[in-house]
Amino acid sequence: MSESIWIWPVLTGVALALLLMAEHRQNRAGKWLFKPLASMGFVLTALAAGALESLYGIVILFGLLLSMAGDVLLIPRRRATFLAGLVAFLLGHVAYAAAFGVHGVDPVAAAVAGLLLIVAGLLLAKRYLPRIEPGMHGPVWAYGVVITTMLALAVGAVGAGGSWLIVVGAALFYLSDLSVAGDRLIESSFLQRAWGLPAYFGGQLLLALSVMQ
C-alpha cells in the first residue's frame, strides 16, 4: 500500500469544506459539485486501502457505493428523491452490517450494545416522532432498526478483535443519520448539516480505511 492513499481522504476533506460553504450560502451548483466529489474520495480511499483484496473489503466497498448514491439523491429537496436516498442509505447500512458479520462478531458485545441502543432509540422516538408527519413513521422505524443493528454489530466486530475504525466509523454514520432526520423531517437547519456532514464523511472514511486489516 503506497502513501498516496492519503490523497483521497484529503480530497474528501477539502470537498467537504467547500460543500459546507455551499450549504451555508445555499449554492445549488456547489452542492452538486462538491458532495459527489467528497463521496468519491471515500470510495477511492477504500480502493487504495485494498478493498478488493478481501470479502470484508468488497462488502464495505458496496456499502460505500450505496452511500455515495444516497448522497446524490439527497441533494434535491424533493420527497421522491429523498425516499430513494433513504433506501440507498438503508441498503448501505445493511451492507455494513453484513461486512461486520463477515469479519466476525462477539455476540455478547453485540447484544449488550444492541440493548443500550434500543433504549436510546426509544427515547429519541418518544421525543421526536410526534414532530414527524405520520406517513413517515413506518420508514423511520424501519431505518432505526437497521442502523441500530448495524452499530451493534460494529461493536461486536471490535469485540471479536476488529479495528477501532469499525466502531467509530459506524457510530459517526449512525449520528449523522440523526442530523439528516432532523434536517429533512423536522426542521431544515444549516446547523444540522454543519455537524452532520463532517460526522458522515468522517465515518465513511474510517470505514473505508478499516479494510486495511
Q: How many CB atoms lie within 10 A of CB 32?
A: 14
pLDDT confidence of residue 2: 54
| Helix, strand, coil in percent for the chain, rounding step 5 | 90, 0, 10
pLDDT at residue 3 greater than cutoff 70: no
Global pTM? 0.91
8-state DSSP, 2? -
pLDDT cut 70: percent of the chain above it: 97
Integer CA distances (angstroms), 48 to 99, 147, 202, in order: 18, 27, 17
The per-residue b/e assignment along 195-206, b for 16 or more CB within 10 angstroms, e otherwise, is ebbbbbbbbbbb
pLDDT confidence of residue 182: 75
User: Whole-angstrom Cα distance, residue 42 to residue 37?
Assistant: 9
pLDDT confidence of residue 126: 81
Least confident of 10-14, 71-75, 82-86: 82-86
8-state DSSP, 189? -
Segment 38-49, tens digit of pLDDT: 999 999 999 999
Least confident of 18-22, 77-81, 133-137, 188-192: 133-137
Spatial neighbors of 184 by CB under 8 A, at least 6 apart, are: 74, 82
Residues 103-129: what's their mean pLDDT? Answer: 91
Q: For residue 142, what are the domain limits?
A: 3-212
Number of domains forming the structure of the chain: 1
Residues 134-153: what's their mean pLDDT? Answer: 88
